[in-house]
Each structure stands twice: as structure tokens, then as C-alpha cells.
Structure 1
């Protein structure tokens, strides 16, 4: 693919709070770079699993809208952990087809993110 997505940034009103939330829910270990003031999250083993992105017409959320889809193994369990960790479930886990579930949520400062679980084909 030409010009693939190779990096992402998430702006938050409280980066420290957002980073702590991502640590609790997804076991991420960001490293703070004082030179750029960015909490860097390396691609690690996910660099070979990144599947791309998509463009769509927004119908329900507010613009601007950028959602990162984070792959998880148990979306219902992670949704409970989102709430327990100070996040808010925007759209509870739902099936988009026979093999994929999605859940949209806000981290504590209000940024919308999403989780994606691949389920067994039926």
C-alpha cells in the first residue's frame, strides 16, 4: 500500500490522566519524551498486525472525529474495565458482522476510542 498510516497522536486535556487510563485498561507502557513532551507508545509487535483504516460519513458523533481501534480478546471484560478506570461507554459492545464486535468509549478526558474483538466465524 502506498502512504500507509505509520503513526498516530491522541490529544487530551490531561495527557497524564489519559496515559494512566491506557496503562490500566490496555497494559500499554508509554515512555515520556521530555524533548517533545509526548508519551510515546511504540508499535512493538502490533506493527505487523496493523490492518489500516477507513473513511465514512459521520451520522451520530460530533466532528472532528478520529477513532483508534484497539484489538482486544474479551471486549465485554474490557468495557467493564473502561468504566472501572474512569472511562465512559459511548456504544456498548455490538456485532458488526459474524466475526467482529466493536465498542466505542471515552477515556477520562473525553477522547473517543474504540475496541475491536475478532470472534470465531460462524
Structure 2
């Protein structure tokens, strides 16, 4: 069960998910499930039966100039309310909240120092 305020999910943002799949499969023993999405094929990484990370395809002009990187998501009890607090304390909303069916409600923001992160209310917390 997700808990408010903890790091909940990590995603590798990459232009070459196949190369990353091969690397992490061979070095960490991860297996992958493909999940089609608008941006391409998202790869859900698993260790045994446990989901451990995602590989997100950085396709499109919004990713120009951005290097491949790991991106973290923090679980929050109510992403909309927490974003209001973030803005009130100097945070910047990069991508407003959006819903991913079966996953949760997600937003991308920068903290007061400019560090980018995702905040999400996982479906299991919202239900």
C-alpha cells in the first residue's frame, strides 16, 4: 500500500527503451511487460512478479535537449490539494494533474530549488 510522502515509483526516461531493456535485463535480471501508450511503448520492469520501475520513451519535441535520466514520483494523499500547497510555497507546476486509468492521478512539478519530480495519488490511495 502506498503511503503519503514516500518515493513511490521510478522511471527511466530514455530515447532508446530497447537498449535499456537489454541492459537492465542482463545486469539486474529484470523482465518487462509492454504497455502501449500515446507516446509509444512503456516498459514495466519486474523482478520476479514485483513491479520495480518503468522505462518511458522520450519521443517528441518536448524532450529536446533533455538527457536520458531517472525520474522519481512521490505518493501524495491528494495531488490537487498538494499542488496548491506546492505553488503557495514556491513550487512550479510543469504539467498539471492528469489521470492514468488503474495507475492514479499524476502531476509534474519543480520544487523551490527547481528540482523536477512527479507527485501522484496512486489509484490504491484514491479508492
TM-score by length of 2: 0.49
1:63 lines up with 2:66 in the alignment: yes
Number of equivalenced pairs: 77
**What 5-or-longer segments of structure 1 have no aligned partner?**
5-49
**What 5-or-longer segments of structure 2 have no aligned partner?**
1-26, 30-49
- Structure 1: distance between partners of 2:109 and 2:84: 11
User: What is the CA RMSD across the aligned residues, in angstroms?
Assistant: 3.0
TM-score by length of 1: 0.51
Q: Which runs of 4+ in 1 moved over 3 A?
A: 119-122
Offset of residue 66 of structure 1: 3.1
Give the direction of change, closer, same or farther, for the CA distance of 1:106–1:99 in structure 2 (3 Å limit).
Answer: same
Higher strand share: 2
Q: Find 1:72's aligned residue among 63, 68, 76.
A: 76
Offset of residue 70 of structure 1: 0.3
- The Cα offsets for residues 63-121 of structure 1, whole Å up to 9 and x where unpaired, read as 23432100111010111111111110001111011551100001122221001112368
